[in-house]
Amino acid sequence: MRQSLITVTFCLLSPGVSGAAVSATPTVAGSATASVAAPGAATVAAPATTSVAARRHLYVGNAATNTVTIYDADARGNAAPARAIGGSKTGIACLEQEAVDARGYLYVANLSRVPSVPASCTDAGRNDVSGNVLVFAPVANGNVAPVRIIAGPATRIDHPTAVAVAADGTVYVGSYSSDANGVAHSSLLRFAPDAAGDVAPTAALAYGKGKLDAITIDPDFGLIVSAGPGGSGAPGTSVTYFTKNLTAEFGQIAAYDPGPLAADPATKTFLGLLSGPNKDWVYRFPDATTGILDSPDAPGVTPPIVSGFSVATCPVAIATDETRTIYVAGQGCPADSIAAFAPDSSGDAMPVRQISGPATELAEPTYITVGP
């Protein structure tokens, strides 16, 4: 489980142009506060008077409580979640990335503990830990069971750490295991819409660049996959691009623990987080950018940053919605938070709103996504 971001900067190459420098346009990040509370009692929320798809919500995966808290997209201040999914019936033991489809079904990449595994969720990849993808009904709330589970030998899901759902319902899962030397071996798996049970993937691709952190879908050009450290001696980590049918890889950014990303199809860019000892940023890359990320504070290194904004919220996850609003989840520094920024924020930008306070039930927010 990612708890913080690692220091990086970048020197990028334009796709197909050797040695050509590409500027990344950093945008924003911000500060807020929050606290922790247990998920609510087991209930199933009644549908709103408007359809599920009529309102947008923020889905936040909380590592400390293994819960998913859901907020109205325009929530602010010390706002209680509209819904919170967690508890023994959910099957969520070690929450990884979550995703939401167009109908409002929530998908959770989940690692299942066994008695020999300690309480920490950092043992992913061990042979005595298994995993699954849990699917919850739209407007599910409280300690409720999933309506579908994707798991079993035929699925080839070992230790799932990433999940994403395309507009047509196609499900993508990132899974990995560790060899005897502790090195991660990852794979990308694609499943048919509404897949359930022990079903075979419709496509699979080996991915040898570390432990998969997250999968981001860009509707125009395919998948953006970010991978973090995969153990001692693991291959270099990266941001890598794949076609939606998983038949081809077409470029990457070499990076150390790049973390979750967010696509912005309207501008043909994607967003990520840049963290260092002196500054934290939200940065923007052109689609399919390639190159290398180094340290922004290293002597003699001049990163191609157009502008940026220094923050102190320890940002760990990012998302956007159809209005291009940028949402940033922060862990601590000094407390957990979700901050929203205007679409083209840059420089010394401030959030347009933020979620903070004890009623929010934020507890080490690690992933964030937007859905119905």
pLDDT digits (tens, 9 = 90+) for 207-260: 766 678 899 999 888 998 887 654 433 445 578 889 999 988 877 776 656 778
The CATH code for residues 11-371 is 2.120.10.30
> For residue 99, what pLDDT is reported?
97
Residue labelled with tokens 């990012």: 318
Q: Residue 138: pLDDT band by 50, 70, 90 thresholds?
A: very high
Higher-confidence residue of 368 and 46: namely 368
174-183: buried (b, 16+ CB within 10 Å) or exposed (e) per residue? Answer: bbbbbeeeeb
Show Cβ contacts of residue 206 under 8 Å, excluding neighbours closer than 6 positions: 185, 186, 187
**Burial class of residue 127 in the structure, from the number of CB atoms within 10 Å of its CB (0-12 exposed, 13-18 middle, 19+ buried):** exposed
Show Cβ contacts of residue 97 under 8 Å, excluding neighbours closer than 6 positions: 61, 109, 161, 162, 163, 164, 174, 213, 214, 215, 260, 367
Q: What's the first-to-final CA gap in the chain, in angstroms?
A: 26
Choose the weakest-confidence range: 43-47, 264-268, 368-372: 43-47
354 pLDDT above the threshold of 50: yes
Residues 9-51: tens digit of each pLDDT = 333 333 333 333 333 333 333 333 333 333 333 333 333 323 3
Show Cβ contacts of residue 10 under 8 Å, excluding neighbours closer than 6 positions: 24, 253, 255, 274, 283, 291, 292, 293, 294, 303, 304
Most confident of 197-206, 216-225, 247-256, 267-276: 197-206
Residues 72-82: tens digit of each pLDDT = 999 999 999 99
> For residue 143, what pLDDT is reported?
98
61 pLDDT above the threshold of 60: yes
> For residue 121, what pLDDT is reported?
63
Choose the weakest-confidence range: 158-162, 195-199, 296-300: 296-300
The rounded Cα 352 to chain-centroid distance in angstroms is 22
Most confident of 114-118, 138-142, 258-262, 305-309: 138-142
Question: What percent of the chain shows pLDDT beyond 70?
Answer: 67
300 pLDDT above the threshold of 50: no
> For residue 31, what pLDDT is reported?
35
Q: Cα–Cα distance between 317 and 261 in angstroms, integer?
A: 7
361 pLDDT above the threshold of 60: yes
100 pLDDT above the threshold of 60: yes
Is the whole model's pTM more than 0.75, yes or no? yes
Contact 256, 8 (CB under 8 A): yes
Residue labelled with tokens 């407007």: 139
Q: What is the mean pLDDT of residues 131-158?
A: 96
Residues 50-60: tens digit of each pLDDT = 333 357 999 99
